[in-house]
Structure 1
Amino acid sequence: MTDDYNPYVNPADIFGELVFNDETMQERLPKKVYAKLKKIINEGGDLDLDTADVIAHEMKEWAIEKGATHYTHWFQPLNGLTAEKHDSFITSPLPSGKTLMSFSGKELIKGEPDASSFPSGGLRATFEARGYTAWDCTSPAFIRKDAGGATLCIPTAFCSYTGEALDQKTPLLRSMEVINRESLRLLKLFGNTTSTKVTPSIGAEQEYFIVDEKKYLQRKDLIYTGRTLFGTMPAKGQEMDDHYFGIIQPRIASFMKDVDIELWKMGVTAKTEHNEVAPGQHELAVIYSEANVATDDNHLVMQTLKRVARKHGLKCLLHEKPFEGVNGSGKHDNWSLTTDDGINLLDPGKTPHENIQFLLILSCIVKAVDEHAGLLRESAADPGNDHRLGANEAPPAILSIFLGEQLEDVVEQLISTGDAKRSLKGERLSTGVSSLPDLYKDATDRNRTSPFAFTGNKFEFRMVGSQDSIAEPNVVLNTIVAEAFSDACDILEKADQFQLAVHDLIKKNFTEHERIIFNGDGYSDEWVKEAARRGLPNITCEVDAIPELVTEQTVRMYEKFHVFTRTELESRAEIKYENYAKTINIEAKAMINIASKRLIPAVVRYTTALADSINAVRAAGVDEVSVQTELLQKTSALLRESMNALRALSEVDGQANTMARGRDQAKFCHDKVTPAMEALRRPIDELEQIVDKSLWPMPSYGDLLFEV
C-alpha cells in the first residue's frame, strides 16, 4: 500500500505533482528562459549553456522540495528496458565541512554512460566505452519515489561516441520530425496555412497477468524466463467468459488503486482498467499523448505495475504468453495524427466519401502498410510474441487492414467506378425496452482479429507484445506513412489540375493496394489461404521477421528520411538475433534444470511409492493390482519419454552454445532447440496430471491463476 493511503483520492488534486511540467516551468523559470525553452520544444534547436544552467537550477530546487536527493538520465537502450545511473546533488565539501546541493546545465543536457555495456550490435567494442545521453526536453522530467527515496528522472536519448543511435528514443524522435514535415507538406496542398505542427498521437493499452508472489517464487521458470515452461490448465480456464469485465477482486482493486495514484502523480493519464479475458489477466489504458511522451509513459506504466505489485505481495507478469491454454497479453498501439490547432487527420467526418483530404491520407496509409507489411510485422516480433501471434486470441501473423463497412464501401466505389457517391450511415438501434433510450449504432463494426484496424479516427496496431516498447512500431508507422505522403506530394505538387490529380491518386493507391484490406475473420484457416493467394507475407516467427530490417527497400527508405543508417539497422538486426538465441538458451537451460532436479525426481518418488503400494497390497494377499500396475506402467513410460527428451534437449542446446552468434545460431534455436523444449514439456505436463499433488514440487496453473 502507498504510505499516503486515503479511501478517496481526487486525481485532479495530485495529477502531475511529481512532474516538471509546463505549469511548473512557467511558475519557476524567468519569462525569457521559459520562452526560449518552449520555442526549442515546439520548433527544435540548441539550448545554450547559460539558459540550461538556469533551467537546471530551478529543476533541482523543485526536485529537492519534493524530497529528491539524486538525479538520473533516464534512457531506453536496446535491451527493451530503461536504464539509469543515479548521481546525488551534493558537491565537494566546503572548508567548513558542509556541502552544497548543485545541478548544472551541463549535467542536465549531457550524461556519459558506458556504451559498451549495452547491446550495440557491434557498434561499440568492449574496450570502446564512451557513449552519451542527451536531454529530450520535449518529454518532461519527473520524480519517481520508491524504496531508494525520490529521484529526479530526466528523459534522454542515448547515442554512441561515433553518433549512432543506441536507443529506442532517438529514431522515434527522428521519425516524428519526418512525419511532421511530410504531413505539413501535404496539408498545404489542401490550403491549410494555420497548422504548424503535426504529431503522431499514441494511446497504449497494456495487458498483464497478476499472480501471488509467494507462489511465483516457487516457480523457477517464471523467475528465469517470465513464462511457465511446464504446466497444464486446470478443469476451468476462460471457457465461461466470466473473467472479462468481471468484478475486480478486492486485492487486485487495491493494487490497481495504488497504481493509479502513483501514475497520476507522475503525470501518466491512467484512464481505463478492467479484467481481461484470461483468469488472472488485466488491462490498463492511458489517454493519448505525443508519441515520445506516450512511449516514456508506457515504460512508467510497466515499471509501476511491477513495483506496486510487490508492495501488495503480488507479481506482475508482462510476458506475452506466461500460461499455455489461455489468452496471452498484448499491447494495443492506437496511432493517429493531430495538428497543433486540434485537427485529427484521421477523422473521416460524417460524409467520408466527400472528404478528399481524408481519403488521400487513408489511401497513403493503405499503401504504406501494404508496401512495408513485413517491416511492420517485424516491429512487433520477439520470442515471447512468437507464442501469441496467430493463435485464436491475438491478431494473426499476417498483416492486413480493417477499414469497416463504411470505408470499405467507399473504397469499392472508388475502385469500381472511379467516384464515391455515398457513405453508409449509422442506424437507430432499438433496444426493445421502453425505459431505455434508443441507440445510434456506428456505421461500422469492430474486428478484434485484425492486426491493423481503423476504429473511427485512429488505427489500432494490435500486434505489439505486452513487454515491448512501443517505440519501434511507431518509428515504423511514422516513417512508412511519411514516405507515402512524400510520394503523394511529389506527384501533386507538379499537377496542373490538383483536384483531378488527387482523385486519380486516391483511386490508384486503393486499386494497387486493395489486397491488404480485409474485413473478415483473421483467425480462420480460409484467411491464411486467401492471404497467400493475395501475396501477403505470413511471417510466423521473429527469426524470419528480422531480415525485414535490412532489406534494400527498408534501408533506402530509412536513409532517405535520416531515421536510421544502414549501419544502425544492421546493428539492430544483430542485436535481435543475439537476443532471440539468448532467450531460447535461457529457457532451455531452465527446463533442463527444473526437469532434472525437481520434476523427474518427484516422478521417481511417485513411482517408487506406487511400486511399494503394489508390493504391499500383494503381501496382504490381494492379487488384483491391475489398476495400480497400469498406472505404474503409464507413469514409467512417460518418465522414460521425459528422460529421452531431456537428453535430446541437452544435446541440441549444447550444440547451439558452440555456434557463433548471429542469424545461424538464432535459426538453429528456432528450428532445433524450441521443438526439443516442446518434446520435453509434453510428457512432463501429462505426468503432472497423474502424480499426487502433494509430491509435485511447483504450484499448478490452478494455484497461480485462481488463488490470488
Structure 2
Amino acid sequence: MNTVSSEFGSMVFDDAVMQARLPKETYKALRNTIKNGKHLDLSVATVVANAMKDWAVEKGATHFTHWFQPMTGVTAEKHDSFISPRDNGKVIMEFSGKELIQGEPDASSFPSGGLRATFEARGYTAWDATSYAFIKDNILCIPTVFCSYGGEALDQKTALLRSMEAINKQALRVLKLFGNEDVKSVKTTVGPEQEYFLVDKALYDQRKDLIYTGRTLFGARPPKGQELDDHYFGAIKPRVAEFMKELNTELWKLGILAKTEHNEVAPAQHELAPIFTTSNIAADHNQLTMEIMQKVAKKHDMVCLLHEKPFAGVNGSGKHNNWSISTDTGANLLEPGATPYENAQFLLFLAAVIKSVDEYQDLLRISVASAGNDHRLGANEAPPAIVSMFLGTDLSEILDAIVNDTAYDSKEKEIMRIGVHTLPKFPKDTTDRNRTSPFAFTGNKFEFRMLGSASSISCANTVLNTAVAETLKEFADYLEGRDDFEKALHDLIKDTIKAHKRIIFNGDGYDDKWVKEAESRGLLNLKTTPEALAHLLDEKNIRLFESHKVYSKAELTARYEVLNESYGKIINIEALTMLDMARKDILPAMSEFAKKLSKSALEKKEFVADVDLTYEKETVKKLGDMTKEAYKHVLKLEEDLSAAKDITSAPEYAMYCKDKILPDMAALRISVDSAEAISSKKDWPYPSYGELLFGVR
C-alpha cells in the first residue's frame, strides 16, 4: 500500500531525483543555476536532459513538452516524442540538452497585444530551472517562460521571475544595513487558497451558459441558498469527499502541497489551500491545481466551476494570495522580532509594504481585474474594489506611537524610538481576521484577498514584488551612508507611515460609509475592469516596471491591449450566449407554457362552465407581459451588439461593453428569471439553480 510520503513528489524530477541520477559535478552545476541564476552550460544541460528522459521513460512517459503560461490565463503545451530514427528502421529514445533548454512553439495564435504581427509566428520557450520538471498524463512537462522572436515576454511567468529578481536585489541592500551579511538571497513566498464549485455533470451539460461562459446567465433564486450558513465547514458529501481524496493524491504526486480542504459558504462551493512555497513555483502549482481539479471532477461525473461568480445570489469564488518575504537563512521578514534591531527591520519592511500598496493601489486593482471578478468584488463575500490595508489594533497602535512620538503602552514611560526602545513581542493573532479587507496582515504575511478564482496568481505577485522592490530601493538609497543610522531609520519609518496612513483601514469594508471615507482619503474606487485598466499606462506605472526591468513600455502596452480585448470578447460571448438561449429556448418555452395554460383553461371551461380560472388567466397575462419585456430586451441587446461592430479599439470596445452591453444583459435576465419563477419546471428548458446547487449528493 502506497503512503502519502512515498507518493509525494513521485512524478517530479526534484532535488532528490537529480542528486541520485546526476553525476556529482553536473548536479552541482545545476544547483548553482537554480540557486544563483547562473547560466547552464549546454554540455551540462545534455547530461541533465538524458537523465531526465531516462527517469521519465521509466515512469511511462513517451513525449515531452515545454509547459508555459501565455497571456490567455491558462497553460499551453506542445508534445514531442522522445523517438529518434535509426538506419535499421528502428528508433531510440533521445532528449538533447538543446531541447531541454529551449523550444520553438508556434506563437501566432497566442495573444501578443501588438508585440508581433500575426504572420510572425516564431516564439521561444526557455526552461525555468528553478521549477522542477514533472510528469502529467505520461508527458514530461518542463516549466518554461515564453517570449517572442525579439525577446519580449509573451507569458505570465517571465515578468514574475523578473519581479522576484528585483525584490531580491533591493531587499539584500536593505538587509545589509542591518548587518545581515549571511543572507545571500531573498524570495517572496505565496500560499494561494483556491475556491471552486462542483456541479453534477449531467445538469451542467444541459446549460449552454455554463458550457460557453463558465457562469449562469439566467437563473431564478431557489427557495434555499446560503442563508443558514449550514454548508460552511459542514460535513463533506461522500461524492465530494471521493473527489477531494483523488484530487489530493494527484496533487501530491506532483509535489503540490495541498493542505486544507473544506466546504465554503455557498451550496456546492469548496476550498483547497496549500502550504507556502516560492512565488513562481506557487504560480505553477496553482495552474496545475486548477487543471487537475477539472479533470478529476469529470471522473466523478461532476464539473468544477472556477468562474468568479457562477451563480447570482450566492457567494462567488476568490483566490486568497497569502504573500510574504523570506531569506535563504529561513527568516520571514514580515515576522516581528524580539530584539530592537529585529523589530526595526520588521517595521521597515512593513512600512515598505504600506507605502507600496498606497502608491500602487491602481496596479493592485488592475492585477485582479477581469470580467468575471467584476461580478464578485464588493459583494458580501469579497473585498470591495477599493484597495486598503488591515493591520489590526496592536500593530496600528504601534505605528501611531511611532508617528506621534508617544509610548506604545500606557505602562511604558519611554517614547517609542526605533532601534533603542524594545518593541514588545507582537502576538500573531491579537485581533480578529478582517475578511472585508482587500489586503490584510495576518501575523507574518499579507493576505491579498481580491484575486478571482480563475486568475493566474502571476500578475498580482508581479505587481506586489515590483512595487515593494521600488520602495525598498528608495529606502536603501536614503539609508546607505548615513552617519546616524538609527535616527535616519526612525525618521524614515515615521515619515513613511505618516505619509501613507490613509491606506490603512481596520473597519468594515462593506459599509457604505467606507466608500465616502475612502474618497475623502483620496483612495481610488475602480469598480470595473475598464475603469481600472485605464490607469495601467500611467507614467508612474511605466516608470516603475521599466526601472526594474520587469516590463518594457512595449510589453506593458501589449498587456493593456490584451486585457481590454479579453474583457470585450468575454462580454461579447456572454451576450451572444444569452441571445441564443433566449431566442431558441427560453422565449419559445415561455410561449409554449402560456399556450398550454390557455388550452387547459379552455378545456376546463368547456367541462365546467363556471370553473375558476384565476390562476390560468393571471399566469398567462403575467407570462405575456414578461415575454414582451424579455423580447424587448433581446432586441435591445441585439441592436447594441450590432452597433459595436465598427468599434476597432479594444479599450473603447471594453468600455462600451461595460456601459451598454452589461446593462442590456442585466435587464434581459430580470425578465427571464421572473418568468422562470412562475413557469412549470417540466416546461422550463434548463436545470434550475436549486438542481445545480444541491444536485451533488
Map Cα deviations across residues 505-540 of structure 1 (whole Å, 9 max, x no partner): 000010000000000000110111110110100000
Pick the aligned partner of 2:31 from 15, 33, 38.
38
Q: Aligned equivalents of 2:255 and 2:411: distance in 1?
A: 40
Unaligned runs of 5+ in 1: 1-5, 425-439
* Residue equivalent to 1:657: 645
Pick the aligned partner of 2:654 from 658, 662, 666.
666
* Residue equivalent to 2:148: 160
* Residue equivalent to 2:474: 487
AA aligned to 1:220 is K
Contact kept, 8 Å, 1:52 with 1:106, in 2: the verdict is yes
Contact kept, 8 Å, 1:131 with 1:161, in 2: the verdict is yes
1:76 aligns with 2:69: yes
Map Cα deviations across residues 243-275 of structure 1 (whole Å, 9 max, x no partner): 000000000000000000001001101100000
Contact kept, 8 Å, 1:213 with 1:310, in 2: the verdict is yes
* Residue equivalent to 1:98: 90
* Residue equivalent to 2:390: 402
* Residue equivalent to 2:491: 504
* Residue equivalent to 1:427: none
SS at match of 2:379: coil
* Identity, % of aligned positions: 56
* Residue equivalent to 1:347: 335
SS at match of 1:375: helix
Q: Aligned equivalents of 2:309 and 2:440: distance in 1?
A: 23
Residues 274-285 of structure 1: pairs in structure 2 closer than 5 A: 274-285=262-273
Q: Which moved more, 1:453-462 or 1:626-635?
A: 626-635
Contact kept, 8 Å, 2:429 with 2:442, in 1: the verdict is no
* Residue equivalent to 2:582: 595
* Residue equivalent to 2:122: 130
Q: Aligned equivalents of 2:409 and 2:356: distance in 1?
A: 26
Q: How big is the shift at 1:11?
A: 1.2
Contact kept, 8 Å, 2:382 with 2:450, in 1: the verdict is yes
SS at match of 1:158: strand
Q: How big is the shift at 1:47?
A: 1.3
Unaligned runs of 5+ in 2: 413-426
Q: How big is the shift at 1:623?
A: 5.8
Q: Aligned equivalents of 2:339 and 2:383: distance in 1?
A: 30
Q: How big is the shift at 1:657?
A: 2.8
Q: Aligned equivalents of 1:656 and 1:673: distance in 2?
A: 9
Pick the aligned partner of 2:47 from 48, 51, 54.
54
SS at match of 1:699: coil
Q: Quickly say closer, same or farther: Cα 1:561–1:449, change in 2 above 3 A.
A: same
* Residue equivalent to 1:335: 323
Pick the aligned partner of 1:312 from 296, 300, 303.
300
Q: Aligned equivalents of 1:99 and 1:353: distance in 2?
A: 64
Q: Aligned equivalents of 2:682 and 2:290: distance in 1?
A: 35
* Residue equivalent to 2:360: 372
Pick the aligned partner of 1:609 from 579, 588, 596.
596
Q: Aligned equivalents of 1:516 and 1:229: distance in 2?
A: 36
SS at match of 2:259: strand
Residues 634-645 of structure 1: pairs in structure 2 closer than 5 A: 634-645=622-633
Contact kept, 8 Å, 1:353 with 1:420, in 2: the verdict is no
Q: How big is the shift at 1:601?
A: 0.5
SS at match of 1:153: strand
Q: Aligned equivalents of 2:10 and 2:353: distance in 1?
A: 39
SS at match of 1:201: strand
Q: Aligned equivalents of 2:342 and 2:87: distance in 1?
A: 76
Residues 417-456 of structure 1: pairs in structure 2 closer than 5 A: 417=405, 420=408, 442-456=429-443
AA aligned to 2:118 is T
Pick the aligned partner of 1:392 from 373, 380, 386.
380
AA aligned to 1:89 is F
Contact kept, 8 Å, 2:428 with 2:442, in 1: the verdict is no
Q: How big is the shift at 1:115?
A: 1.6
Q: Which moved more, 1:621-630 or 1:679-688?
A: 621-630
SS at match of 2:565: helix
* Residue equivalent to 2:530: 543
Q: Quickly say closer, same or farther: Cα 1:474–1:420, change in 2 above 3 A.
A: same
* Residue equivalent to 1:144: 136
Map Cα deviations across residues 39-75 of structure 1 (whole Å, 9 max, x no partner): 1111112111111110000000000000000000000
Q: Aligned equivalents of 2:290 and 2:432: distance in 1?
A: 31
Map Cα deviations across residues 583-628 of structure 1 (whole Å, 9 max, x no partner): 0000000000001000111111101011112222322312642332
Map Cα deviations across residues 338-383 of structure 1 (whole Å, 9 max, x no partner): 0001000000135899711111111111000000001101000000
Pick the aligned partner of 1:520 from 500, 507, 513.
507
Q: How big is the shift at 1:423?
A: 11
Q: Aligned equivalents of 2:527 and 2:411: distance in 1?
A: 37
Map Cα deviations across residues 521-562 of structure 1 (whole Å, 9 max, x no partner): 001101111101101000000001112221100000111110
Q: Aligned equivalents of 2:479 and 2:674: distance in 1?
A: 64
Q: Aligned equivalents of 1:675 and 1:167: distance in 2?
A: 33
Pick the aligned partner of 1:464 from 418, 427, 451.
451
Contact kept, 8 Å, 1:171 with 1:564, in 2: the verdict is yes
Map Cα deviations across residues 21-40 of structure 1 (whole Å, 9 max, x no partner): 00000000000001011111
* Residue equivalent to 2:186: 198
Q: CA RMSD in A?
A: 1.5
SS at match of 1:115: coil
Residues 5-16 of structure 1: pairs in structure 2 closer than 5 A: 10-16=3-9
Contact kept, 8 Å, 1:351 with 1:422, in 2: the verdict is no
* Residue equivalent to 2:226: 238
Q: Aligned equivalents of 1:224 and 1:100: distance in 2?
A: 43
Pick the aligned partner of 1:121 from 113, 117, 130.
113
Pairs aligned (count): 681
Contact kept, 8 Å, 2:428 with 2:443, in 1: the verdict is no
AA aligned to 2:542 is V
SS at match of 1:548: coil
Contact kept, 8 Å, 1:406 with 1:423, in 2: the verdict is no
SS at match of 1:239: coil
Q: Aligned equivalents of 1:190 and 1:217: distance in 2?
A: 60
Q: How big is the shift at 1:96?
A: 2.1
Q: Aligned equivalents of 1:78 and 1:260: distance in 2?
A: 28
TM-score when scaled to structure 1? 0.95
Q: Aligned equivalents of 1:422 and 1:458: distance in 2?
A: 28
Q: How big is the shift at 1:630?
A: 1.5
Q: Aligned equivalents of 2:501 and 2:368: distance in 1?
A: 23
* Residue equivalent to 2:418: none
Q: Aligned equivalents of 1:624 and 1:475: distance in 2?
A: 68
